[in-house]
Structure 1
Amino acid sequence: MKNAVQLNDTAWLTQGPPAKLLAVLDRDGEEARVVGGAVRNVLLGHPPGEIDVATTALPEEVMRRAAAAGFRPVPTGVEHGTVTVVIDGTGFEVTTLREDVETFGRKAKVRFGRSWQKDAERRDFTFNALSVSRDGTVHDPVGGIEDLEQHRVRFIGDPAMRIAEDYLRILRFFRFHAAYGRGAPDPDGLHACIVAREGVRKLSRERLRAELFKLLIAPRAAPTLVVMAEAGLLEEVLGGVPYLAGVANVIAVEAVLGFEPDPLRRLAGLAVSIAEDAERLWERLRLANVEHERLASMADGWWRIDPAIGESRARALLYRLGPARYLDRIVLAWARAGAEAADIAWRELATLPERWQASVSPLKAADLIARGVPKGPQLGRALAAAEEKWISAGFPNDASALQRILDEAARGDEPHSGGAPPHQVRGRLRRGPGAQEN
């Protein structure tokens, strides 16, 4: 395999802000190339996405040239050789070539250099060491093109050394395999990941979450997660035993319903059965509060859902949760039930929000006050009871039914039995289909 090939389509390089940036940096004794993911994506036939640039120029020279050209240079990481250059509102990370002096994990001692080969050898995987000059020449110092053609994720050099430099590379190995790989993972890389798997414990929770979420939405997430589980890696990441059939079924149901891949929903399929699981993942992955609440909602009562609940109880659940969280819970219940992704009865439950939407509750506190209910906690309880009666009665809008519901609530009568069970999320009463979900 030649170590340089020519791109057929260079429009993304020769037009717009990328062309302006390269024209400024790639001259007068300095060289600049696009590196990393953009090159990989273009070779795979995808849009380049975020464009990063490497250069022989020192950070101070990058700043000087960018400012002279009317761009906005931002010293985001000058000590590491990185400057962000903003052109026409688009930011580009420009990093000076580096080479290792000493390596001890992520705190490796480096110096700026001018060797593209040495800079490439510092990177993680062969296809991430690809670079492209502004004339469309792709430089391949470590065999990345062949690995892309073979759908193979391969570490540069000794996998154990690459992993010791940053244990996040364990997750990146599997994430890239889920995105681009075929068949079994590279055996040398897999072995190194297994040996070093306890290093995952040293990663920050934010980095762990970010990489796991990318893996979960990759095209081959399900079989890759199986490999990770067999290697003992998933328990290190999740802090619990994974449910592989659950996530595979969630992925299948998403596909049948035409849903976009959702990392949080897939995480629930993989690792959430009860509320305590949501709490553990919140802490372990440092999830945002809205993500934690959504996971907790999926964990809350999914096992009570199946097509046998009928349309009226499904409507009650949809009203209380709102469409987004209703669908989350239906998808998880469907997946955990092990039903076929094409199951018609489950599909009827999942498509209910397309067919039915409740009106906003017509019950008002003023109506209860007029019936002698005093303001304060008692009024709140009476209004909640009235809404439960309204839901159990099938969301009536006729005046006589509403009058009866208000009279019963004012007297303190219990809601009718036989209606929908209270699937409320930890005591938060949602008034109407209006509860917009995250």
Structure 2
Amino acid sequence: MSVARVLEDAPWLKSGPTARVLELLNSNGEEARVVGGAVRNALLKIPTGDIDIATTASPTEVIRRAREAGIKSVPTGIEHGTVTLVVDTQPFEVTTLREDTETFGRKAKVAFGRSWIVDAQRRDFTINGLSVDADGVVHDHVGGLDDVAAKRVRFIGDPDRRIAEDYLRILRFFRIHAAFGAGAPDRAGYLACIRARAGLASLSAERVRMEMVKLMVAENAAVAIAAMVDGGLLLPVFGGVAYTGPFTAMIAAERSLGLQPDAVRRLGALAVAVTEDAKRLATRLRLTNAETKALDSMGHRWWRLAGMDEATARRRLYRLGEDRYRDRLMLAWARAGGDAGSAQWRELATLPERWSAPKFPLKAADFVARGIGEGPALGHVLALAEDAWLAADFPLQETALKAIADQAVTRFNRDHRL
């Protein structure tokens, strides 16, 4: 049975780019509605993000109308009925209503249709199966309104069938629950995910990464991750142990410091104990080079940061840089339990806010003037001097720097005479 209600506080439906697209498509016997996440978010009174539109009009008709209105159209997925319209630099994915004619995973054959009910019933979750028309009327053909109110994430129809259509829906179930759900995951959906977990092996690394990165920063990520671990759903993804305690502690540490959630930092807390873990994750999730380097740095002897005095912490900060220092320090903090010695951990974590590392003041010319020739020898003596400068706590006085330079040259010459 279909249910409808009026969406309050949605001015973007009445004016602006969204209203213009709906007006373009709502004429001459065709209808268009905003569908999916934007409707869900509007009901939850959170930012809508991307706005997707469904229509009874065929893709060729959408393109024709856009051309006549002077609107740019891009056939981004025209074989599946999707055309992207760009209005005032804002993109809208416009998809013709569809119905499955044959179902076999992501390659299901679809036909264009005109039934809003059938189109809603082929979507993944009830809270994503809602649509809203240009007048602000929300149409619910799958029980999504009640589930939005209850913050409950349920598959539409039979969970086993929905998952078999696309095994990525296992990860989406937990990611959507982490972002919009409350309490424990829906029992029927949870058990279906466990039954189908072998299907995770069929997913591309890129698709898995996309979902896991979003899950890491969701509001209730800790609850979703704990459920995944209990159900044996992370081992096929990570290929190794998941540490829920440090993951929860990392979230608490971020919040304590007022930091924005960071997907890579949280992934490190969840799955990286040593640098080998970072390399494995980088391969399994097809991480970017920057993400791989960040995880590798976090896993490199993080335990040495526990119990540092501030002088040692300054040397670590100088060597690592602000971001690498904070991430590795927070991994050590999370693995210590998050609350253990929290005052000291907070002092160490906030060091970059109180102190900026000076630049190493000695230059190559200082050592050339002392008889060191160009080449590897010069690099070696510079490194010796820099180490001594750090050990002396970053002095900047000319006399101290002269002594450090002289000592570095003396040591280099002594070592190379042996």
For the aligned pair, the TM-score class normalised by the smaller chain equals: over 0.9
Does the Cα contact within 8 Å between 2:85 and 2:94 map onto a contact in 1? yes
Partner SS state of residue 227, structure 2: helix
Does the Cα contact within 8 Å between 2:159 and 2:192 map onto a contact in 1? yes
CA 1:341 to 1:101, structure 2 compared with 1: closer, same or farther past 3 Å? farther
Residue of structure 1 equivalent to 2:53: 53
Does the Cα contact within 8 Å between 2:56 and 2:96 map onto a contact in 1? yes
Residue of structure 2 equivalent to 1:199: 199
Distance of 2:380 and 2:234 partners within structure 1: 45
1:412 deviates by 3.1
Residue of structure 2 equivalent to 1:374: 373
1:370 deviates by 1.0
1:2 deviates by 6.0
Residue of structure 2 equivalent to 1:90: 90
1:413 deviates by 4.7
Residue of structure 2 equivalent to 1:140: 140
1:28 matches 2:32: no
Amino acid at match of 2:85: V
Does the Cα contact within 8 Å between 2:19 and 2:134 map onto a contact in 1? yes
Residue of structure 1 equivalent to 2:232: 232
Partner SS state of residue 309, structure 1: coil
Of stretches 57-66 and 396-405 in structure 1, the one that deviates more from structure 2 is 396-405
Amino acid at match of 1:22: L
Residue of structure 2 equivalent to 1:432: none
Distance of 1:116 and 1:225 partners within structure 2: 34
1:246 matches 2:246: yes
How many residues were matched structurally?
414
Residue of structure 1 equivalent to 2:416: none
Residue of structure 2 equivalent to 1:126: 126
Residue of structure 2 equivalent to 1:426: none
Amino acid at match of 1:75: P
Residue of structure 1 equivalent to 2:303: 303
RMSD: 1.4
Runs of 4+ with >2 A deviation: 411-414
Deviations 1:231-259 (A, max 9, x none): 00011111101011010000000010000
Deviations 1:162-208 (A, max 9, x none): 10111000001011111122222111111110010011111111110
Amino acid at match of 1:338: G
1:385 deviates by 1.3
Residue of structure 2 equivalent to 1:355: 354
Distance of 1:2 and 1:155 partners within structure 2: 17
Distance of 1:17 and 1:182 partners within structure 2: 33
Matching of residues 206-355 of structure 1 within 5 Å: 206-306=206-306, 308-340=307-339, 343-355=342-354
Distance of 2:142 and 2:46 partners within structure 1: 22
Question: Could you tell me the TM-score, scaled by structure 2's length?
Answer: 0.97
Deviations 1:48-102 (A, max 9, x none): 2210000000000000001111110111111110000011111100000010000
Does the Cα contact within 8 Å between 1:6 and 1:136 map onto a contact in 2? yes
Residue of structure 2 equivalent to 1:157: 157
Distance of 2:8 and 2:289 partners within structure 1: 46
Question: Could you tell me the TM-score, scaled by structure 1's length?
Answer: 0.92
Distance of 1:2 and 1:284 partners within structure 2: 43
Amino acid at match of 1:335: A
Does the Cα contact within 8 Å between 2:2 and 2:139 map onto a contact in 1? no
Distance of 2:184 and 2:284 partners within structure 1: 29
Amino acid at match of 1:226: A
Distance of 2:220 and 2:97 partners within structure 1: 33
Partner SS state of residue 28, structure 1: coil
Residue of structure 2 equivalent to 1:112: 112
Distance of 1:139 and 1:350 partners within structure 2: 49
Amino acid at match of 2:9: D
1:47 deviates by 2.3
